[in-house]
C-alpha cells in the first residue's frame, strides 16, 4: 500500500468520441502541475492519464464514420496522446481501456465482487442516456423522456443485467465522507455528494446485452452476451494501470493521492468508485478533486456554436506556459471559468510581464551596471532580513495550498515575494545606494532580488515548466530536488553567480492573437425574433443592455505625473494612479484645453479596460472621460475627492 513517500495522481480517461478541448487540457495541466511538484519535492510519483474507449456512444460514433470501433478508438486515442506529448505532459502511463491488461484486470475485479456476493443477476427496466452513458430512473427524467443531465432523449431499456449492490454501501460511504472531511475537494462538493447518498442509493446495473463494444464478463461466469457497463470498466483503470489483476508490482502506489476530475463526473467518482473499492477490499483514494467548467466569452462551448477552444491553438499563439499559468491562476479551483483572449492577455502582460519578467530585467540591469553581472547574497540578512521574513512566510504557505487544490491561491501567494522584491528596489533604490557609496548594501539588494526570483522560479516550475528553467539558468542554478531542498525547505540564499542575459521572457501582447471563430451558420440555433426598429435606436444610438454597460470598467484616478508629448500639439502624457501597483500611462488629446500643470494632482474619470493603444510612440493604457461642445472641452471629475481606483457605475 502507498506510503507517504508515494504520490499517485490521475486524470479522468477521455472519451474517444471527440478531440481534446480546453476542458481536457485543464484537468491534464492541473494533474501535470501536481505531478511535477511531487517529483521535485522528492516523492515517488506516478501520473496516469489515458482514454476511455468502450461503450455504446463510441460504438455509434465509429459506425457513423464507417469505421470499426477499434480503428476509430486508435485514431482518436492517438490525438490525445500526441497532444499531451506536444504539451510535455509528464505522464508515467497512458492507459487505454482497450489494453489487454486493463481488460483482464476489470474481469478480475468483476469476479472478486461477484464472489463477495456483491453482484447478482436480474432484469433492468429503465431509461438510458447514451450520450452520458448513464441509467436514470423514470422519476429523474425531464418530461418523462429526456436526460436530466444533457437534455437528449433517453432510450428505454429492458434487458437482463447484472447488478452491483450499491445500496449495501450507503452507510459505509456516509461514514467515509464523515471521517475524511477532505476526501472530496472543494469541500462544498462533498456536501452535495452526502445529500445525494442520504437520499438513498439504488443498486447499479453494471452489464449490457444490447451491444457488443465492451469488456466481456469473466469466463467463469459463462455468460457471453453481456459486456460491462462502461463506467465500471473506466473507473477500474485507476487500479489496472498499476497492474491490478495482472502484474501487481506497482500496486504499492495505491491508494491514489488525488483523482482529478470535472464536476460533471463527481457522482461516478465519489459514490460508485469508493463502493467498488470497498467491495474489492482496496483502500479508498485520499482525495477526489472536482474542478468547474470552462465557458468561452461567457457562453457554454459547443460544436454547434463553433466556439470550442482548441488548446493547441491557444498554446501555439500565446505560449504553452503562459496558457498554463492563465488557466490555473484565473479560476478558483472548483468554480467555473471563462476563457477570453482579453483575460489571457491581461494575465500575460500584467502578472507575467510586469511583475515577473520586469523583475528579472531589473536584476540583469542592476547587476550589469554596477557589478559587471555579479550577484552575491552573502550580506542579505544583514540589510534585508525583514523582506526575507516576509518572503519566507509566503513560501511556507504554498505546499499545503497546492495539495488542497487551492491552486489559484498558491499562485496568488507566490506573487507576494515578487511584490516584496519590486517594492524593495523602489524603496532602497540601488542607484541612490551606489551614489552614496553603499556598495555592499546595493550588492545585498541584488542578492535579495536574485534569491527571491530563484525561490519563485522553483515554486512556479510545476506550473511553468518551460520558462522557469530559463530563469534558473540566468541565475546560475538548476531546478531539481536539490535546489528545492536548499532554497525552499532549508530557506537558503542563492549562491554567488554571474548573471546571464536572457531575451525578454514575456513580450507585451497588444492585440488578440487568435481570430475569433465565427459560428457555423448552418448549425445556428433558432433565429431570434427581429427587434422592432423603435426599440433598437434612440437618437441614432444603439440601445445596450445593462450588462453591456458594465463591461466598461470606469474608475476614479489621480494624475500623479503630467508632461507634454514632444512634438505634439494635442497630446499630454499622464501617469494616473488607479489604486493599482503602478500608475497607468494615459495619452490624452486635451492639450488645447489643459496644460500639464493644470492636470497634475487632479482627479479624473478613466475608462480602465480599454485595449492598450500606441499614440505618437507612447502606449496609452486607458482613456479620460471628458465632455466637448462648441465652447471647448472639460474633464469629467468626481464631485468630491475619491480614493484612486474607486469604481464608477
Ligand atoms: N470518460 C469519462 C471519464 C472516465 S474517468 C474514469 C469522461 N470523459 S470526457 O472526455 O467526457 O470528459 C473528461 C473530462 O473533461 C471530465 O472531467 C469533464 O469534466 C471535462 N470537461 C469536459 N468539458 C469541459 C469543459 N468545458 N470545461 C472543463 N472541463 C470539462 O467523462
CA 525 – CA 436 distance, rounded (Å) = 70
**Of 241, 275, 291, which residue is a domain's last?**
291
CA 126 – CA 155 distance, rounded (Å) = 8
Q: Secondary structure of the chain: what % helix, strand, coil (to 5)?
A: 45, 20, 35
Does 243 fall in a domain? yes
The percentage of residues in the chain with a pLDDT greater than 90, rounded to a whole number, is 77
**Of 291, 324, 353, which residue is a domain's last?**
291
Does 530 fall in a domain? no
Q: Is the CB of 213 under 6 A from ligand 1?
A: no
pLDDT tens figures, 375-416? 999 999 999 999 999 999 999 999 999 989 999 999 999 999
Ligand 1 centroid – CA 24 distance (Å): 6
Predicted confidence at residue 177, as pLDDT, reads 98
Ligand 1 centroid – CA 15 distance (Å): 8
Atom of ligand 1 nearest to the CA of 15: 10
Which secondary structure element, helix H or strand E, spans residue 120, and what is its range? strand 119-129
CA 224 – CA 226 distance, rounded (Å) = 5
Predicted confidence at residue 524, as pLDDT, reads 35
- Mutation probe of ligand 1 site: the residue of 12, 109, 334 with most atoms within 8 A of C-beta: 12
345 and 401 share one domain:
yes
State the alpha helices, DSSP H only, in 372-484. Answer: 380-396, 398-403, 407-428, 430-435, 439-460, 467-474, 481-483
319 and 282 share one domain:
no
- What is the mean predicted confidence (pLDDT) over 431-456? 97
Predicted confidence at residue 18, as pLDDT, reads 84
Q: Which residue has the cell 494533474?
A: 31
Q: Is the CB of 264 under 6 A from ligand 1?
A: yes
Q: What is the DSSP string of 176-202?
A: HHHH-TTSEESHHHHHHHHHHHHT---
Predicted confidence at residue 472, as pLDDT, reads 98
Atom of ligand 1 nearest to the CA of 337: 27
285 and 363 share one domain:
no
Ligand 1 centroid – CA 150 distance (Å): 13
Does 515 fall in a domain? no
CA 378 – CA 644 distance, rounded (Å) = 40
pLDDT tens figures, 313-370? 999 999 999 999 999 999 999 999 999 999 999 999 999 999 999 999 999 999 999 9
CA atoms within 13 A on the CB side of 647: 6
Does residue 340 contact residue 301 with C-beta atoms inside 8 Å? no
322 and 280 share one domain:
no
279 and 323 share one domain:
no
Name which of 151, 265, 266 is nearest 141 in CA terms.
151
Ligand 1 centroid – CA 102 distance (Å): 20
Backbone φ, ψ for residue 370 (5° rounding): -105, -25
**Mapping DSSP to helix (H, G, I), strand (E, B) and coil, where does residue 556 land?**
strand
pLDDT tens figures, 123-154? 988 888 988 888 887 878 888 888 888 888 89
44 and 148 share one domain:
yes
Residue 82's contacts (CB-CB under 8 Å, 6 or more residues apart) are none
pLDDT tens figures, 600-630? 999 999 999 887 777 777 788 999 999 988 7
Q: Is the CB of 196 under 6 A from ligand 1?
A: no
* Mean pLDDT, the chain, integer: 91
CB burial of residue 403 (10 Å; 0-12, 13-18, 19+): buried
* Residue closest by Cα to atom 15 of ligand 1: 24
Atom of ligand 1 nearest to the CA of 292: 28
Name which of 325, 375, 316 is nearest 87 in CA terms.
316
CA atoms within 13 A on the CB side of 183: 24
347 and 439 share one domain:
yes
72 and 129 share one domain:
yes
Q: What is the residue range of 372's domain?
A: 315-498
Does position 550 have pLDDT exceeding 90, yes or no? no
Does 302 fall in a domain? no
Predicted confidence at residue 516, as pLDDT, reads 63
Count: domains in the chain: 3
Predicted confidence at residue 534, as pLDDT, reads 30
CA 204 – CA 124 distance, rounded (Å) = 9
Ligand 1 centroid – CA 14 distance (Å): 7
CA 166 – CA 119 distance, rounded (Å) = 9
131 and 169 share one domain:
yes
pLDDT tens figures, 2-35? 556 999 999 999 999 888 999 999 999 999 999 9
568 and 610 share one domain:
yes
Higher pLDDT, 642 or 85: 85
- What is the mean predicted confidence (pLDDT) over 471-493? 98
**Of 479, 498, 517, which residue is a domain's last?**
498
247 and 201 share one domain:
yes
CA 368 – CA 289 distance, rounded (Å) = 46
Higher pLDDT, 544 or 52: 52
Does 297 fall in a domain? no
Contacts 24+ apart (CB under 8 A), 638-645: 638/556, 638/603, 638/605, 641/603, 642/556, 642/603, 643/556, 643/579, 644/555, 644/556, 644/557, 644/558, 644/576, 644/577, 644/578, 644/579, 645/555, 645/556, 645/557, 645/577, 645/578, 645/579, 645/580
Does 392 fall in a domain? yes
**456-465, 473-482, 518-527: segment of lowest average pLDDT:** 518-527
Say which CATH number the domain at 610 has.
Answer: 2.40.50.140
The CA distances from residue 597 to 32, 564, 579, 602, 627, in Å, are: 54, 10, 22, 10, 20
- What is the mean predicted confidence (pLDDT) over 102-119? 98
269 and 335 share one domain:
no
**Mapping DSSP to helix (H, G, I), strand (E, B) and coil, where does residue 126 land?**
strand
Say which CATH number the domain at 157 has.
Answer: 3.40.50.620
CA 238 – CA 282 distance, rounded (Å) = 12
Amino acid at each position: 500500500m502507498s506510503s507517504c513517500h508515494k504520490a499517485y495522481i490521475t486524470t479522468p480517461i477521455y472519451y474517444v468520441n471527440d478531440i481534446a478541448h480546453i476542458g481536457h487540457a485543464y484537468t491534464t495541466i492541473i494533474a501535470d502541475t501536481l505531478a511535477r511538484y511531487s517529483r521535485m519535492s522528492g516523492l515517488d510519483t506516478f501520473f496516469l492519464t489515458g482514454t476511455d474507449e468502450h461503450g455504446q456512444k463510441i460504438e455509434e460514433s465509429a459506425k457513423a464514420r464507417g469505421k470499426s470501433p477499434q480503428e476509430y478508438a486508435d485514431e482518436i486515442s492517438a490525438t490525445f496522446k500526441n497532444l499531451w506529448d506536444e504539451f510535455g505532459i509528464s505522464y508515467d502511463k497512458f492507459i487505454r481501456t482497450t489494453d489487454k491488461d486493463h481488460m483482464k484486470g476489470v474481469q478480475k475485479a468483476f469476479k472478486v465482487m461477484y464472489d463477495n456476493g456483491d453482484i447478482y443477476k436480474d432484469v433492468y427496466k429503465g431509461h438510458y442516456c447514451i450520450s452520458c452513458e448513464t441509467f436514470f430512473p423514470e422519476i429523474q427524467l425531464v418530461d418523462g423522456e429526456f436526460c436530466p443531465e444533457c437534455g437528449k432523449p433517453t432510450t428505454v431499456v429492458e434487458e437482463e443485467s447484472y447488478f452491483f449492490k450499491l445500496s449495501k454501501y450507503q452507510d459505509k460511504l456516509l461514514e467515509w465522507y464523515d471521517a475524511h472531511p477532505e476526501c472530496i475537494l472543494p469541500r462544498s462538493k462533498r456536501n452535495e455528494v452526502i445529500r445525494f447518498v442520504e437520499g438513498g442509493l439504488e443498486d447499479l446495473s453494471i452489464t449490457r446485452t444490447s451491444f457488443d463494444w465492451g469488456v466481456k464478463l469473466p469466463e467463469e461466469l459463462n455468460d457471453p452476451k453481456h459486456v460491462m457497463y462502461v463506467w465500471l470498466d473506466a473507473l477500474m483503470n485507476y487500479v489496472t494501470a498499476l497492474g491490478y489483476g495482472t502484474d501487481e508490482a506497482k500496486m504499492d502506489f495505491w491508494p491514489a493521492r488525488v483523482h482529478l476530475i470535472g464536476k460533471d463526473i463527481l457522482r461516478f467518482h465519489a459514490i460508485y468508485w469508493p463502493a467498488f473499492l470497498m467491495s474489492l477490499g482496496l483502500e479508498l483514494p485520499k482525495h477526489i478533486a472536482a474542478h468547474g467548467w470552462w465557458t468561452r466569452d461567457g457562453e457554454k462551448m459547443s460544436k454547434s456554436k463553433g466556439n470550442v477552444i482548441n488548446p493547441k491553438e491557444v498554446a501555439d499563439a500565446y505560449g504553452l506556459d503562459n496558457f498554463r499559468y492563465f488557466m490555473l491562476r484565473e479560476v478558483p479551483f472548483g468554480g467555473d471559468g471563462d476563457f477570453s483572449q482579453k483575460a489571457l492577455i491581461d494575465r500575460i502582460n500584467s502578472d507575467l510581464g510586469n511583475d515577473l519578467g520586469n523583475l528579472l530585467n531589473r536584476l540583469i540591469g542592476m547587476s550589469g551596471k554596477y557589478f559587471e553581472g555579479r550577484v552575491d547574497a552573502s550580506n542579505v540578512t544583514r540589510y534585508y532580513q525583514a523582506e526575507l521574513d516576509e518572503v519566507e512566510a509566503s513560501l511556507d504557505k504554498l505546499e499545503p495550498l497546492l495539495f488542497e487544490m487551492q491552486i489559484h491561491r498558491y499562485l496568488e501567494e507566490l506573487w507576494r515575494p515578487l511584490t516584496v522584491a519590486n517594492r524593495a528596489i523602489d524603496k532602497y533604490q540601488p542607484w541612490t545606494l551606489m551614489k552614496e557609496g553603499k556598495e555592499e548594501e546595493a550588492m545585498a539588494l541584488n542578492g535579495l532580488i536574485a534569491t527571491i526570483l530563484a525561490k519563485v522560479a522553483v515554486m512556479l516550475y510545476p506550473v511553468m515548466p518551460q520558462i522557469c528553467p530559463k530563469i534558473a539558468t540566468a541565475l546560475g542554478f538548476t531546478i531539481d530536488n536539490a535546489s528545492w531542498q536548499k532554497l525552499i525547505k532549508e530557506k537558503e540564499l542563492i549562491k554567488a553567480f554571474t548573471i546571464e542575459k536572457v531575451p525578454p521572457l514575456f513580450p507585451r501582447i497588444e492585440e488578440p492573437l487568435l481570430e475569433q471563430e465565427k459560428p457555423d451558420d448552418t448549425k445556428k440555433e433558432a433565429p431570434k425574433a427581429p427587434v422592432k426598429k423603435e426599440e433598437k435606436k434612440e437618437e441614432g444610438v444603439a440601445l445596450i443592455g445593462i450588462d453591456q454597460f458594465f463591461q466598461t470598467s470606469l474608475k476614479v484616478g489621480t494624475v500623479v505625473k503630467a508632461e507634454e508629448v514632444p512634438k505634439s500639439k494635442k497630446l499630454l502624457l499622464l501617469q494616473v494612479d488607479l489604486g493599482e501597483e503602478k500608475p497607468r500611462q494615459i495619452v490624452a488629446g486635451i492639450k488645447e484645453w489643459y496644460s500639464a500643470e493644470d492636470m497634475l494632482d487632479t482627479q479624473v474619470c478613466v475608462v480602465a479596460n480599454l485595449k492598450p493603444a500606441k499614440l505618437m510612440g507612447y502606449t496609452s493604457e486607458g482613456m479620460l472621460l471628458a465632455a466637448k461642445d462648441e465652447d471647448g472641452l472639460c474633464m469629467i471629475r468626481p464631485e468630491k475627492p475619491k480614493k484612486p481606483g474607486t469604481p464608477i457605475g
